[in-house]
Amino acid sequence: MALSRPDTRSFTPLTDWWDWQKNAACRGMSSSIFFHPERERGPARERRIRVAKFICRHCPVIDSCRAHALTVVEPYGIWGGLSESELREATDQHY
């Protein structure tokens, strides 16, 4: 039985899925702005979310970021200007 080569014409390189990140306003920033540390609650959490959303509001790839988060159902972090609870709500409405 001879092995044949897979037809790669229909494959898209995975890096193409992430190219938008090169232009993201958050590129190079600490992930701690967008992802909460363990046990973060109350005013500290709300403050971090506000800062992250402010950065997102001025981002040239906010739509691509949000689309990514909704497509892969990102469970954690601020993506495309949406908090974790907003992402869950949008995902529930989308699916």
For residues 21 and 59, the answer to whether their CB atoms sit within 8 Å is: no
Number of domains in the chain: 1
Residue 54: predicted pLDDT: 98
For residues 64 and 51, the answer to whether their CB atoms sit within 8 Å is: no
Q: Hey, is 51 helix, strand or coil? A: helix
Q: Is residue 24 part of a domain?
A: no
Q: Is residue 11 part of a domain?
A: no
Q: Is residue 54 part of a domain?
A: yes
Residue 8: predicted pLDDT: 56
Q: Is residue 22 part of a domain?
A: no
Q: Is residue 58 part of a domain?
A: yes
Q: pTM score, two decimals?
A: 0.79
Q: Which residues, in sequence order, are CB contacts of 91 under 8 Å at separation 6+?
A: 70, 73
- What range does the domain containing 57 cover? 35-94
Q: Is residue 80 part of a domain?
A: yes
Taking only the tens of pLDDT, the chain with its 95 residues reads 566 665 656 666 666 677 899 999 999 999 999 999 999 999 999 999 999 999 999 999 999 999 999 999 999 999 999 999 999 999 887 65
Q: Is residue 19 part of a domain?
A: no
Residue 92: predicted pLDDT: 82
Residue 14: predicted pLDDT: 64
Q: Is residue 42 part of a domain?
A: yes
Residue 9: predicted pLDDT: 60
Residue 65: predicted pLDDT: 96
